Amino acid sequence: MEKEIIVLGIESTAHTFGCGIASSKNKILTNVKSVYKPQRGGIHPREASQHHQKVAPFIVKRALDNVGMDIREIDAVAVALGPGLGPCLRVGATVARAISVHYNKPLIPVNHCVAHIEIGRAITGLVDPLVVYVSGGNTIISAFAGGRYRVFGETLDIALGNCLDTFARETGIAPPYIVEGYHVVDYWAERGKEIIDLPYVVKGQDVSYSGLLTAALRLYSEDPKKLPDICLSFREHAYNMIVEVAERALAHTGKRELLLTGGVAASPVLREKLKIMCADHNATFRSVPLEYAGDNGAMIAWTGLLTYLNGVVIPVEKSFIKQRWRLDEVDIPWRKQ
Ligand code: MG
């Protein structure tokens, strides 16, 4: 019998501090997290990092308690070194380095975006999907080709989740961001009737959301009574841009599956649009369940395990954080060409 390998993973790239534990036999053993909630405005990197510092020891301890393990029993510690917010990344990296040095455990570098894809494949059972990763910090269309996850489209400025949240915040309809299970923009959009023309910006395979956000906010300031129509128009433009580039990427790569992940995967409206598009192309559509779609430690542990099993470790003194570490810079040795 092969020995079971256990990896503890730490996530701290943005508002979530998470710790997960993955096993070579049973995939995910536990997934614990604490999410920083700003008092007002968007994520303040320093405040978020202070939240992470405060909760880190308790989150790691709870993860170990959940599986009834002592930290000495793990085989390696994995950490998301990027991409993300510097002050936040530093907390996770510091905790992981400390565990590595103190308990003499190999340190495994994990790219946060690769981890979103790998946990999605592990949980949904999709094998070789086109990936639509949409969150507060990232908007990426990706697929595996030539040993890496290549980028077949991305945002040129702000991420889709950030665009939706900023609109909601600036108009005063959020917080809360979720109303009756819907993003507050989706919620108001359901009450809209007329679609107003807004900037629909697709350049090649890339999208741009900043012009859409500005135009929608201007419309609202001119006539706040139109909120439902503005939300409907805003949402239709924002989501359709992603569906358009995803459709072209699906046709171009010839993939037979589509995986939706990231925090915006929670939107039933976006899921439905992608599902319809996939049906047109005879492709299987799956969405990552919310626990694993948003940032989490389990995805870092799982990807850390795949990385470790392929012999990739990083010396502590070289384990720098990489705020702009791109998805397509990472070799993926565990997947066949
Ligand atoms: Mg993320």
Dihedral (Cα; 195, 199, 200, 201), 10-degree rounding: -170
CA of 278 to the centre of ligand 1 (A): 23
Q: Give SS3 for 20.
A: strand
pLDDT(2) > 90: no
Let me know if residue 300 belongs to a domain: yes
Average pLDDT of the segment spanning 326-333: 97
Residues 68 and 47 in one domain: yes
Q: Residue 180 above 90 pLDDT?
A: no
Residue 334 lies in a domain: no
Give the per-residue pLDDT at 226: 96
* 197 Cα: distance to centroid of ligand 1 (angstroms): 30
Ligand 1: centre distance to CA 115 (Å) = 9
Residue 263 alpha carbon to ligand 1 centre in Å? 7
In a domain, 235, yes or no: yes
Q: How far is the CA of 282 from the centre of ligand 1 (A)?
A: 28
Calculate mean pLDDT across residues 88-112.
Answer: 98
**Mean pLDDT value of segment 197-208:** 97
Domain presence at residue 228: yes
Q: How far is the CA of 293 from the centre of ligand 1 (A)?
A: 8
Query: Ligand 1 centre and the CA of 58: distance in Å?
Result: 22
Average pLDDT (79-107) is 98
117 CA → ligand 1 middle, Å: 10
State in Å: Cα 83 to ligand 1 middle. Answer: 9
Residues 34 and 180 in one domain: no
The contacts of residue 149 (CB under 8 Å, 6+ apart) are: 113, 114, 117, 131, 142, 143, 327, 328, 330, 332
Q: How far is the CA of 3 from the centre of ligand 1 (A)?
A: 31
Query: Which residues, other chains included, contact 247 with Cβ-Cβ below 8 Å and sequence gap of 6+?
Result: 277, 280, 281
Q: Do 173 and 92 fall into the same domain?
A: no
| Distance in Å, CA 306 to ligand 1 centroid | 19
Alpha carbon of 324 to ligand 1 centroid (Å): 13
Q: By percentage, how much of the chain surpasses pLDDT 90?
A: 93
Domain annotation covers residue 140: yes
Q: Based on the domain organization, do 140 and 189 belong to the same domain? A: yes
Residue-range definition of the domain harbouring residue 256: 126-292
Handedness of CA 323, 95, 115, 330 (dihedral sign): positive
227 and 249 share a domain?
yes
The yes-or-no verdict on residue 323 having pLDDT over 90 is yes
CA angle 210, 230, 290 (to 5 degrees): 70
Residue 165: both structure tokens together: 């949240």
Does 218 share its domain with 247? yes
Q: How far does residue 130's CA lie from ligand 1's centre (Å)?
A: 17
C-beta separation of 262 from 135 below 8 A: yes
Q: Longest Cα pair distance anywhere in the chain, in angstroms?
A: 69
Q: Are 304 and 23 in contact (CB under 8 A)?
A: no
pLDDT at 159: 96
Enumerate the β-bridge partners of residue 11.
Answer: 18
pTM (predicted TM-score): 0.95
Give the CATH number of the domain where residue 238 resides.
3.30.420.40
Kindly state whether residues 163 and 250 are assigned to the same domain: yes
Q: Report the pLDDT value the prediction gives residue 39, as an integer from 0 to 100.
A: 79
Query: Given a cut of 70, is residue 221 above it in pLDDT?
Result: yes
Distance CA(115)–CA(332), nearest Å, equals 11
Give the tens place of pLDDT for each residue, 10-59.
999 999 999 999 999 989 999 999 999 887 778 899 999 999 999 999 99
Asked, for residue 336, whether it belongs to a domain, the answer is no
For the stretch 248-296, pLDDT in tens is: 999 999 999 999 999 999 999 999 999 999 999 999 999 999 899 999 9
CA of 136 to the centre of ligand 1 (A): 7
Nearest one of 109, 114, 110, 113 to 316, comparing CA atoms: 109
User: What's the gap in Å between 139 CA and the centre of ligand 1?
Assistant: 9
Q: Are 195 and 232 in contact (CB under 8 A)?
A: yes
- Indicate the SS3 state at residue 337: coil
Give the pLDDT confidence score for residue 337 in this predicted structure: 64
Q: Is residue 194 part of a domain?
A: yes
Residues 213 and 322 occupy one common structural domain? no
From ligand 1's centre to the CA of 16, what distance in Å?
Answer: 9
Residue 64 belongs to some domain of the structure: yes
Specify the pLDDT at position 1: 65
pLDDT of residue 81: 98
Examine the domain organization and report whether 158 and 286 are in the same domain: yes
pLDDT of residue 41: 78
| Percentage, residues of the chain above pLDDT 70 | 99
128-166 pLDDT, tens digit per residue, is 999 999 999 999 999 999 999 999 999 999 999 999 999
| Nearest-angstrom CA–CA distance, 313 and 302 | 15
Q: Do 275 and 299 reside in the same domain of the chain?
A: no
User: Tell me: the pLDDT tens digits for 167-176?
Assistant: 999 999 988 8
What is the total count of domains within the chain? 2
Looking at the fold, whether 303 and 276 belong to one and the same domain comes out as no
Mean pLDDT over all residues of the chain? 96
Region 295-314: mean pLDDT is 98
pLDDT of residue 70: 97
* 133 plus 109 within the same structural domain: no
